[in-house]
Structure 1
Amino acid sequence: MAELSLQIEPLTDSQQTPFDLLELADPSKAHINAYLESGACYIAKVNSELIGVMVLKEVDSSTIEIKNIAIKETDQGKGIGKALLKHAATISRESGYKNLRIGTGNSSIGQLALYQKEGFEIKSVEKDFFLKHYDELIFENGIQCKHMIVLEKDLKTLT
């Protein structure tokens, strides 16, 4: 089972940024570069093979946000995204944050389900976010991605 040999670690300066994975979740290299500058990138490996990535960035002293989370397409559905979400919650709580935030598109049906199963609750909707901030139209699951659904998890009740 993949979870048994899963290793999650911070990306080091000597390691190459996994843009191929980051772009699975965010098609804008400019956006990725912007949040990588002030965020912390974590990589997930199974048997030394890079299969996942996540970027955390502080919103304020009580809230940290998962700006990007992606799993190699051939490894999706194996619990790796769930493990990254749990890791993000654990390290964020240990760092003193009270809330963990994540945003996703209105068309990201699978992600919306996963995040809610992992204890995230819908906090707000940023109307037309993807129309205003991305040059290309985005379609997923046959649905145009227009709005950002912002979800948040209360880390104070984390078990």
Structure 2
Amino acid sequence: MKNLVFNKIEPGTDIPYELLLLADETVEAINQYIFDCSVYLLNDSLQNVAVMALHPNGNTELEIKNIAVIESCRNQGIGSILIDKVKEIAKENNYTTLTVGTSDTGFQQIRFYENNGFVKKGIRKDFFINHYPFHIYENGLQMRDMVVLSHDLSE
């Protein structure tokens, strides 16, 4: 992938729901966090290829609330480019820890974060049962718990 450009979207700009929905199940769920996040788009000369939404949790922790790559651009290293950009943004803003949550059934996502320096930090029991009005399935299993991973930026 060549000519990739990051852009922070300004408040009042249209929210890129079509991209955010690649990583979250509903617009309602996205609306629970998106208005308190900094949202970044990654595009090539033709289209937006990825999105990430970052939320500060206090002065030291930056949380990745949403990160997604369009299907045609997956498995090309773009996710790792996004994580590197998140680390850069976090360090520039003096955050010491990154966190992210994903489904306990998201085996590929968990492996991706671990390959990018994150470690399992905790579990939010029944998160997907309590926060969504319907059952969600991934890899043939019902999503129940959120696995929380963190990355120490001082390493």
Name the TM-score, length of structure 1 as normaliser: 0.92
| Equivalent position SS for 1:156 | coil
1:1-150 mapped onto 2 (5 Å cutoff): 2=1, 4-13=2-11, 15-150=13-148
Paired with 1:108 and 1:151, the residues of 2 have a C-alpha distance of 13
| Equivalent position SS for 1:134 | coil
Shift of residue 81 of structure 1?
1.0
Number of equivalent positions: 155
Alignment gaps of 5+ in structure 1: none
Paired with 2:37 and 2:65, the residues of 1 have a C-alpha distance of 8
Taking every aligned residue pair, what percent have the same amino acid on both sides? 34
- Structure 1 contact 107–143 (Cα < 8 Å) conserved: yes
1:98-122 Cα shifts (integer Å, max 9, x gaps): 0000000011111111100000000
| Of 148-157 and 8-17, the range deviating more from structure 2 | 8-17
| Of 111-120 and 7-16, the range deviating more from structure 2 | 7-16
Paired with 1:96 and 1:138, the residues of 2 have a C-alpha distance of 36
* Counterpart residue type for residue 16 of structure 1: D
Shift of residue 94 of structure 1?
1.0
| Equivalent position SS for 1:77 | coil
Runs of 4+ in structure 1 off by over 3 angstroms are none
* Counterpart residue type for residue 153 of structure 2: L
Shift of residue 35 of structure 1?
1.3
Shift of residue 49 of structure 1?
1.0
Higher helix share: 1
* Counterpart residue type for residue 125 of structure 2: K
Shift of residue 20 of structure 1?
0.9
Shift of residue 12 of structure 1?
2.7
| Equivalent position SS for 1:87 | helix
* Counterpart residue type for residue 105 of structure 2: S
Paired with 2:139 and 2:112, the residues of 1 have a C-alpha distance of 16
Alignment gaps of 5+ in structure 2: none
